[in-house]
Structure 1
Amino acid sequence: MLEQIAKAIGASETSLRLIVSILLGYPLSYIYTKYLKNFDVIHKHFFFFLSGFCIGVWNFGFDIVHSLVAVLVTYISLQVAGGTTLSVVFSFVFHMAYLLVGYWVTATKEYDIKWTMPHCVLVLRHIALTFDVADGKVPEEKLSSDQKKNHLKNCPSLLEIAAHTYFPGGFLVGPQFTMRRYLDFVCNRFDSMATGKGNNVKFGFIRGLMGLLYVAVYQIGSSFVPDSIVTSSSFLEYSLFIRLCIVGIWVKISLYKYISCWLISEGVCIVSGLTFNGVQDGWNMWDGCANVKLHIYENITRFGQMVPSFNLNTNIWAAQYVYKRCRFLGNKMASQVITLAFLATWHGWHSGYYVTFFNEFIILKWEKDAEFIISKNPRLQNFLSQKPVKIATYILLKFYFILFLGYALTPFVLLKSEKWLPVYSNLYYSGTILFLSLDLVLPLFGRFLIPRRKKEE
């Protein structure tokens, strides 16, 4: 039946199974909120573990054993060496190695929905857990604000780790959330803080409906702008500008499949109450696990705005557990390179991932250089603040973002070099040449565009 429905709507059976599995989280979360919320904590842990585990078996069959191995290894390592540097290093090495071997063994020419998809979510969750337990052994005055928020004084039980791992709203595609958040939620600690207006159940279902809307937009859009459009011989009939526009629209539509899953999963978490994020202007905020900020993402004009709006939880995770942990290097650029290299490796072996994160690095560098120059030039700031100039700048930057979003993320969508390299060749490597040139030229121009301070007499 599922296969027939998938064919009717033009989707793969595995994709439809994934969406249905995420949607199953809504009745489960509603049952929890309505009937199980005040049950004993042990029963609640068991409910989340069992429901998420069953969904995993339905999707991946016997391959669910890989996540069970991860749960057991994390628990044993914490019992043996929890709170030590050794446990953190072991967690990093074991989970990343297991994931990368999994990628290698199951690799195909396409992006497939298989056990490695939820496992990559699990890897970050378990690495973070070992970090948080280690932070719990450090005096609080030595912890950063993030560490104080997430640290754990005691090692979680096996059932707690299993429930945290298989939570129905976060097992398959995320979002990431810490063990500290999960324990606060399941122990009903958010209840006394949620004093504002705004019902989580209603807001969660609205978020889910938005996710389904994005599913529809993706299905319709991809039928008009399929992957084959950028690899066909007819693509060369267009001018370079039109080719960049086509690639930009194609990638924009391709990203909607990720956004739709994130929104639906977030809705499940909201209905359960997991996502409470304080009270603002008298309203309860339920965006504690948001993976996409739609109001920012849909109005982006430069790539720097993607970091706080797209794949937000992964970006926050990378900042807290990789970038900031590299502070001892004393070099922000080195920390950024290590973080991007880690994220590329975490995604898999395909060359497209590494090229995409290289693109992110060179694009963000020139944007930061440009912003720095503008911030130091009052005349340029005054010119850009004029209303006609602001409107023109917004339009130009919007075009810039759409055009080069496609160029930057083409390798991410096509993955294999034999697929993305011909597209880059047909675009004359224009983005790579442009951004590398800007990275070289802007620091030189900065000397002339940044006014020199007058020497004190």
Structure 2
Amino acid sequence: MDESGESWIAIVSESLGAPVAGLTLIVSLFAAYPLVLVHRTYLHGKSPPLQHIYFIVTGFSIEYYNFGNHVIHSFICIAVVYAILYIWGGTAIGVAATFVFAFPYLFISYLIFSTDEYDINWTTPHCVLTLRLIALAFDLKDGQKPDKDRSSDQKLAALEKLPSLLELLGNCFFVGGCMIGPQYSTKRYLDFVSGEFADKNGSPPKSVNAAMKRAAQGLLFITIYQTAMPYFPDEKLLNGELLQTSFWWRLLYIGLWGKVQIYKYIASWVISEGSCILAGMTYNGKDEQGHDKWDGCKNVSIRQYELRTSFQGIIDSFNINTNKWALCYVYKRLRFAGNKLISQSVTLLFLAAWHGHYTGYYHAFMLEFFVMYCENRFVVLVTRNATLNKIFYKTPALQPFVVAFCFLWAHLLTGYTFLSFGLLTWTRSVAAFRLLYYIPHIVWFGWPLYSILLFAIFPPTKKEKETGATQKVDPRTVPEESNTKKEQ
């Protein structure tokens, strides 16, 4: 970053009370819009090499503006992975070598460059790049299979040959996704550059309105975050001040704190996604009414996040593309283990390590495992027992109370599950957990013990025993805006 750039960012940062690195990142995400607009106006439909060069130059410039010479790490990893795949191609050795190089490179970088605070440094875009390079190795391997042997996901992303180095660099530095994502396949990028998503007459796609809507949503959420953040500082969770308040206020505070913290992620995701929509890369066919869909790189469903009444619904609503990535390239690749719990555990462990080395990440994903297991088994209990089923689903007078309870339970305790993720270290996390006397931990971790009693008191009805019918999804949840795959 040059001195003039640093000075005006610092001035604005001080006036807003926002960290310089965070504000610089947001400015960079919005800067992608005019850069993509230049591409739409002058380079759309031109030769792919020219487009690759443009994206390399603009993406590199954005990263250099943020992280200076540390951008060299991106070039190192891209070059090494390209050499690996050039030598071994779409083989198991190529996949293993890519993973063994790229992932430890990221993790060791976390150990070296991280501090005790939430860091925005060169590892921020590098974690996105790491997944992109690992996916490239898998996609190249999938491309060597006959089409009939590929899964539906693999058919969308498989590559029959290694892209050129210029194509790979263009994909990795594409200005709409190089900083924080979203994740998208190399094939989608190559289809975009070759004009697959263009309008019928070959002109740029009519995605401007959808892009501006996403940009406006991002601006709204970053405004909400910046406005609310001073009222929900981390320090209140740690300094004992909240211990002087009631239990219910502490529960509400933690729930609102978590929501405010997640808003900063939602803001950055939708801003970044908007630039991808503006480029036209996110085209995803047409809906039932024949309208174009621009959700091919969708990373958050705002309506679903705000209105869902279950943890599963909330989890499914954000970081969608990263969850899809984990589903396609980790979870499904572990089918040989023959055990869903093993696949889920390894996937969550991978995601924790991908985020960094802090104990808070590992605890947060372990907690997610127990929360989801507890919730899923509770749904089985309710749907199989006639009495509970009637109370939860078939008594109209009770439905408003049931929905309200489920909504508050999920949204308030999402903040609790996010505590260790946001506070990073175990010492800080424990101080926050004490505010609620570890009661949520006891509820979720104790499920294997007290669920035995619950299933004995509320056994499955005879009819449902015979049919084996179980309801896996809460029917009261709000319909999704688009079809998204579950993380697990």
* Residues 79-118 of structure 1: per-residue CA shift (max 9 Å, x gap): 0001000111111111110001100001211011101111
Report the Cα distance in structure 2 between the residues aligned to 1:316 and 1:455, rounded to whole angstroms: 35
Report the Cα distance in structure 1 between the residues aligned to 2:274 and 2:208, rounded to whole angstroms: 9
Query: In the alignment, which of 443, 461, 485 is matched to residue 451 of structure 1?
Result: 461
Report the Cα distance in structure 2 between the residues aligned to 1:334 and 1:233, rounded to whole angstroms: 39
Any conservation in 2 of the 1:366–1:442 contact (CA below 8 Å)? no
The RMSD of aligned alpha carbons is: 1.8
Question: How far off is 1:247 after superposition?
Answer: 0.8
Report the Cα distance in structure 2 between the residues aligned to 1:381 and 1:201, rounded to whole angstroms: 46
Q: Is 1:397 equivalent to 2:390 in the alignment?
A: no
SS in 2 for 1:292: coil
Question: How far off is 1:177 after superposition?
Answer: 0.3
Any conservation in 1 of the 2:215–2:271 contact (CA below 8 Å)? yes
Change (3 A) 1:417 1:455: closer
Consecutive unaligned residues in structure 1, runs of 5 or more: none
Q: Is 1:274 equivalent to 2:281 in the alignment?
A: yes
Q: Give the match for residue 238 of structure 1.
A: 245
Report the Cα distance in structure 2 between the residues aligned to 1:434 and 1:40, rounded to whole angstroms: 59
Q: Give the match for residue 189 of structure 1.
A: 196
Report the Cα distance in structure 2 between the residues aligned to 1:455 and 1:31, rounded to whole angstroms: 63
Structure 2 counterparts to residues 44-123 of structure 1, below 5 A: 44-123=51-130
Structure 2 counterparts to residues 155-166 of structure 1, below 5 A: 155-166=162-173
Report the Cα distance in structure 1 between the residues aligned to 2:95 and 2:217, rounded to whole angstroms: 38
Any conservation in 2 of the 1:194–1:276 contact (CA below 8 Å)? no
Q: Give the match for residue 346 of structure 1.
A: 354
Question: How far off is 1:192 after superposition?
Answer: 5.9
Consecutive unaligned residues in structure 2, runs of 5 or more: 1-7, 468-488
SS in 1 for 2:317: coil
In structure 2, give the amino acid aligned to 1:352.
G
Q: Is 1:440 equivalent to 2:449 in the alignment?
A: yes
SS in 2 for 1:296: helix
Question: How far off is 1:379 after superposition?
Answer: 4.6
In structure 1, give the amino acid aligned to 2:445.
L
Question: How far off is 1:378 after superposition?
Answer: 4.5
Q: Give the match for residue 433 of structure 2.
A: 424
Question: How far off is 1:194 after superposition?
Answer: 10
Report the Cα distance in structure 2 between the residues aligned to 1:455 and 1:223, rounded to whole angstroms: 56
Question: How far off is 1:455 after superposition?
Answer: 8.0
Report the Cα distance in structure 1 between the residues aligned to 2:362 and 2:93, rounded to whole angstroms: 29
In structure 1, give the amino acid aligned to 2:14.
K
Report the Cα distance in structure 2 between the residues aligned to 1:284 and 1:85, rounded to whole angstroms: 38
Q: Is 1:287 equivalent to 2:295 in the alignment?
A: yes
In structure 1, give the amino acid aligned to 2:69.
F
In structure 2, give the amino acid aligned to 1:336.
Q
Any conservation in 2 of the 1:194–1:284 contact (CA below 8 Å)? no
Report the Cα distance in structure 2 between the residues aligned to 1:376 and 1:326, rounded to whole angstroms: 30
SS in 1 for 2:299: coil
Query: In the alignment, which of 346, 350, 366 is matched to residue 358 of structure 1?
Result: 366
Q: Give the match for residue 32 of structure 1.
A: 39
Report the Cα distance in structure 2 between the residues aligned to 1:455 and 1:145, rounded to whole angstroms: 34
Question: How far off is 1:371 after superposition?
Answer: 1.6
Any conservation in 2 of the 1:194–1:279 contact (CA below 8 Å)? no
Q: Is 1:149 equivalent to 2:156 in the alignment?
A: yes
Q: Give the match for residue 259 of structure 1.
A: 266
Any conservation in 2 of the 1:122–1:165 contact (CA below 8 Å)? yes
Any conservation in 2 of the 1:46–1:159 contact (CA below 8 Å)? yes
Equivalent residue pairs, number: 454
In structure 1, give the amino acid aligned to 2:460.
I
Query: In the alignment, which of 409, 416, 432 is matched to residue 418 of structure 2?
Result: 409
Once the two structures are overlaid, the 10-residue window that deviates more, 375-384 or 184-193, is: 375-384
In structure 1, give the amino acid aligned to 2:144.
K
Q: Give the match for residue 131 of structure 1.
A: 138
Report the Cα distance in structure 2 between the residues aligned to 1:193 and 1:109, rounded to whole angstroms: 52
Query: In the alignment, which of 347, 359, 383 is matched to residue 375 of structure 1?
Result: 383
Query: In the alignment, which of 2, 5, 15 is matched to residue 8 of structure 1?
Result: 15
In structure 2, give the amino acid aligned to 1:399.
L
Report the Cα distance in structure 1 between the residues aligned to 2:309 and 2:245, rounded to whole angstroms: 25
TM-score, normalised relative to structure 2: 0.90
Report the Cα distance in structure 1 between the residues aligned to 2:201 and 2:177, rounded to whole angstroms: 22
Any conservation in 2 of the 1:132–1:147 contact (CA below 8 Å)? yes
Report the Cα distance in structure 1 between the residues aligned to 2:162 and 2:200, rounded to whole angstroms: 25
Change (3 A) 1:376 1:186: same
Question: How far off is 1:402 after superposition?
Answer: 2.5
SS in 2 for 1:24: helix
Any conservation in 2 of the 1:129–1:179 contact (CA below 8 Å)? yes
Any conservation in 1 of the 2:199–2:206 contact (CA below 8 Å)? no
